[in-house]
Amino acid sequence: MSKYQVDLNADLGEGAGYDDELIPMLTSANIACGFHAGNPHMMREAVKHCVEHEVHIGAHPSFPDPWGFGRREMQCTCDEVIDYMLYQIGSLAAFCQAEGVKLYHVKPHGSIYNMAWRDMDLAKAIVEGIKRFDKNLILFAQPNSYLAKAGVEAGLKVVYEVFADRAYNNDGSLTSRKEKNSVLHDPEKVLERTIKMVLEGKVITYENEELELKAGTICLHGDNPAAIMLAQSIRQGLIENDVEIVAP
Contacts with a second copy by CB under 8 A lie at 15, 17, 34, 39-41, 43-44, 64-68, 72-76, 79-80, 82-84, 86-95, 97-98, 111, 129, 132-134
Whether the CB-CB separation of 147 and 116 falls below 8 Å is answered with yes
Provide the minimum distance between the beta carbon of 63 and a second copy in the complex, in angstroms, as a whole number: 9
**Least spacing, CB of residue 76 vs a second copy, in Å:** 6
Helix axes 120-133, 146-153, angle to 10 degrees: 40
Q: Report the residue number, 41 or 177, with the smaller CB distance to a second copy.
A: 41
CB of 163 to a second copy, least distance (A): 22
- Residue 13 or residue 216: which is nearer to a second copy going by CB? 13
Q: Which helix (H) or strand (E) holds 244?
A: strand 243-245
DSSP secondary structure letter of residue 137: P
Indicate the residue among 122 and 162 with the shorter CB distance to a second copy.
Answer: 122
- CB of 27 within 8 A of CB of 44? no
Alpha-carbon distances of 186 from 165, 171, 234, rounded to whole Å: 9, 24, 11
Closest separation between CB of residue 211 and a second copy, Å?
Answer: 28
DSSP label at 140?
E
Show Cβ contacts of residue 192 under 8 Å, excluding neighbours closer than 6 positions.
none
> Cβ of residue 126: shortest distance to a second copy, in angstroms?
14
Between 68 and 187, CB nearer to a second copy: 68
Minimum distance from residue 143 beta carbon to a second copy (Å): 25
Which of 16/199 has CB closer to a second copy? Answer: 16
Residues 6+ apart with CB under 8 A from 140: 9, 28, 30, 58, 105, 106, 107, 158, 159, 161, 217
Please say which residue, 192 or 223, places its beta carbon nearer to a second copy: 223
Burial class of residue 209 (count of CB atoms within 10 Å of its CB; 0-12, 13-18, 19+): exposed
